[in-house]
Amino acid sequence: MKRHDNKLTLIALTGLFAALTFVLTSFIRVPTIKGYVHIGDAAVFLAGSLLPLPYAAAAGAIGASLADAVSGYFIWVPATFIIKALTAAAFSSKGSRIVRRRNILAIIPAIVLCVVGYGFYSGAAIYGNIAAGFADAAANAVQSITSAVIYVLLGEALDRSGIVKHLHLRVNDTSEQLH
């Protein structure tokens, strides 16, 4: 496959994961006092496990930020963009499986990024009080943990399907060429 074709494939997969993140964030959610809890992080985790870093970060940042903007939560867009890009970066696409030790362990910093990132952002940018920003920490933790469970279940299913090996060859070949 030519380098141009591989790059196009990566761009298409990035768009697909951004759309999946958007849908899982926008349409499968539970309202909370300050916003909502969703399962869109599962798509961010999957993107991080399948795509090279810049593409995974873009998919998570764009899909989740777009969901915030479309849902009327514009104030969260800057934090979401950064937090979801960093969340995707915690995972690795280098391997023959999605669900493996490295990516299971990546769930821990993903949860910390969500809870601490949104806590500091809302405390500093919205409430002017860091402690007040962590009032929704439990909801953010539940969101990340629920997404982690869905990620593991979907990842195991994708690993069993064999699609990962097919995508993995193309993605990893391209990531080496692009860097």
The full set of domain ranges for the chain reads 3-172
pTM of the model: 0.89
| pLDDT at 150 exceeding the cut of 80 | yes
State the Cα–Cα distance between residues 127 and 162, nearest whole angstrom: 48
What pLDDT score was predicted for residue 175?
Answer: 45
Residues 6 or more apart in contact with residue 175 via CB below 8 angstroms: 52, 93
Q: Are 25 and 63 in contact (CB under 8 A)?
A: yes
- Closest of 74, 87, 99 to residue 143, by C-alpha: 87
**Digit-coded pLDDT (tens) for 64-116:** 999 999 999 999 999 999 999 999 999 998 888 999 999 999 999 999 999 99
Each residue of 97-126: b (16+ CB within 10 Å) or e?
Answer: bbbeeebeebbeebbebbbbbbbebbbeee
pLDDT class for 168, splitting at 50, 70, 90?
A: low
Residues 6 or more apart in contact with residue 6 via CB below 8 angstroms: 170, 173, 174, 177
State the Cα–Cα distance between residues 69 and 76, nearest whole angstrom: 8
SS3 at position 30: strand
**Number of C-beta neighbours around residue 159 at 10 A:** 17
Average of per-residue pLDDT across 149-165 = 92
**Digit-coded pLDDT (tens) for 39-68:** 999 999 999 999 999 999 999 999 999 999
Query: Thinking of the domain 3-172, which architecture would CATH place it in?
Result: Orthogonal Bundle (1.10)
* Helix 163-178 vs helix 41-50: crossing angle, to nearest 10: 70
